[in-house]
Amino acid sequence: MRKILVTGGAGFIGANFLKYIIEKYPEYFVINIDNLTYASDYSNIQKLEQYKNYKFLKANICDQDIIEKVMIENEIDTIIHFAAESHVDNSIENPFIFAETNIMGTLNLLQQAYKEWFIKPFEIKEKYRNSRFIHISTDEVYGTLGEEGYFTEDSKYLPNSPYSASKAASDLLVRSYYHTYGMNVITTNCSNNFGPFQNKEKLIPKIIYNALKGLDLPIYGEGDNVRDWLFVIDHCTAINAVLHQGKVGETYLIGGHNEKKNLHLVHTICDILDERVPKDVSYRNQIKFVADRFGHDYRYAIDPAKIQRELNWKPQIAFEKALEETIDWYLIKYNEG
C-alpha cells in the first residue's frame, strides 16, 4: 500500500498516469497536486473524483507550507513528480517561470520529502523505509544528436534550451538528494510522448487541430528534425516498472526506437485525416514551412537497453495503431469525430 503524491496530474502525461495507476492499484492512495496552469485541462481528470482512493488539490509545487502540510497529513511515502513548465517555445520567450517551477519546485518537493521522511542524512524514519521519489524528466537534457548514435544513461548533460536546462538542473538536484541525504530517488528521462490529453501547443495535437480548422500546418525549418516518439501509455507502464522494481539512485532512459522526421510525421497525420475526414484536397496542402526555432535540437533518440534489460520493460503498442487511436481521440475532442 503506497500513499502517492503525483504532481502535475492535470497535464498531459500526469493525467494519463493517474488514470492508469488509480485503476491498476485501487489499494494505493493518490493525491494529485496541480496549480492548473494554461497547460492543464481539468476535464481530463474530472472523472477520477469518483474514486475513493484519489484526491485533488489545486496548489503550487513551489509553496513550502502547502507541500509540507500535504506530506504530513497524508503520510506521503511516494512522490511521482511530473509538474513542470514543458513547452520549449515558451521557455525561449519567458525562461524565468521555467527556472521557478522546474528547478525551485523540484527542490521544494525534495526538501519537504526529506523533512518528513528523514531523522538526519542517511537515517530514515522506520515508517518511511519504503519511500521513493520518482522524477520524470526528458531526453532533452542530453542536447542534440547528429545523424547517428543514441542517448544512454551515460550521455553527457548538454541542454540547449531554457526548458531543457531547467530540467537538467532539476535532475541534478534529485541526484544530490541521493548522494547527500541518502534519499531513495530515481530519475527517468523519456523521449517525446504522444496520446490523448495533450495541450494543442504541442506538435501532434496542433497539427490535427489546425488541419481540421483549415489553418496552416506550421513546420519548423524544413521538417528534418528527428524525434523518438513513445505512446503515453507505454510511458506510464515504464514509470510503473520503475516505481516497483527500479533501483535506488538510478536513472532510466525510456524510449521505443521510434524515430520520425517531423515532416514524415505530419505527412502521416495528414494521410490518416484524409481517410477519416476527407476533403476535396489532401490536408498535406495546408503544410507551411516556418522560420526555425532558435537553438532547435536536430535529433533525439534513446537507447532503452537498460530499462528493457533490468526492468523487463518494452513498449507494447505499435506506433501506427497508437497514432490512429490518438487521432481518433482528438477528432472527438475537436468535434469532428
Phi-psi region of 223 (alpha: psi -120 to 50; beta: other; left: phi over 0): left
Interface pick for ligand NAD out of 6, 18, 32, 34 (rule CB under 6 A): 34
Does 252 bind ligand NAD (CB under 6 A)? Our answer is no
163 carries an active-site annotation: yes
Pick the piece of the chain touching ligand NAD (CB under 6 A) from 34-42, 172-180, 208-216, 298-306. Answer: 34-42
**Which residue among 77, 139, 259, 297 is the active-site one?**
139
Contact present, 185 and 249 (Cβ < 8 Å): yes
Does 40 bind ligand NAD (CB under 6 A)? Our answer is yes
94-106 in b/e form (b: 16+ CB < 10 A) is ebeebbebbbbbb
Phi, psi of 81 (to 5 degrees): -105, 100
| Contacts of 115 by beta carbon, 8 Å cutoff, 6+ apart | 68, 71
Helices (H), the chain: 12-24, 64-73, 88-93, 95-98, 106-117, 162-181, 203-213, 232-245, 262-276, 305-311, 319-333
Q: Three-state SS for 105?
A: helix
239 has which bridge partners? Answer: none
Interface pick for ligand NAD out of 90, 111, 152, 199 (rule CB under 6 A): 199
Give 3 or 87: the residue with its C-beta nearer to ligand NAD.
87
| CA-based nearest residue to 5, from 87, 166, 116 | 116
Phi-psi region of 143 (alpha: psi -120 to 50; beta: other; left: phi over 0): left
- Angstrom distance (rounded) from CA 286 to CA 288: 6
Site for ligand NAD in 287-326 (CB under 6 A): none
- Angstrom distance (rounded) from CA 222 to CA 138: 24
Pick the piece of the chain touching ligand NAD (CB under 6 A) from 23-31, 124-132, 153-161, 188-196. Answer: 188-196
Does 32 bind ligand NAD (CB under 6 A)? Our answer is no
Q: How far is the CB of 161 from ligand NAD (least distance, A)?
A: 12
Q: How far is the CB of 56 from ligand NAD (least distance, A)?
A: 11
Interface pick for ligand NAD out of 60, 131, 187, 225 (rule CB under 6 A): 60
Q: How far is the CB of 77 from ligand NAD (least distance, A)?
A: 20
Q: How far is the CB of 155 from ligand NAD (least distance, A)?
A: 15
Interface pick for ligand NAD out of 5, 6, 22, 84 (rule CB under 6 A): 84
For residue 220, the surrounding DSSP H or E stretch is strand 217-220
287 has which bridge partners? Answer: 217
Does 193 bind ligand NAD (CB under 6 A)? Our answer is yes
Helices (H), 7-87: 12-24, 64-73
> x/- binding map, residues 112-151, to ligand NAD, per CB under 6 A?
------------------------xxx-------------
**Which residue among 163, 178, 300, 330 is the active-site one?**
163
Pick the piece of the chain touching ligand NAD (CB under 6 A) from 45-53, 83-91, 278-286, 288-296. Answer: 83-91
To the nearest 10 degrees (0 to 180), the angle between helices 106-117 and 64-73 is 40
Pick the piece of the chain touching ligand NAD (CB under 6 A) from 32-40, 47-55, 172-180, 261-269. Answer: 32-40
Does 45 bind ligand NAD (CB under 6 A)? Our answer is no
116 carries an active-site annotation: no
Q: Which residues bind ligand NAD (CB under 6 A)?
A: 7-8, 10-14, 33-37, 39-40, 60-62, 82-86, 101, 105, 136-138, 167, 190, 192-193, 199
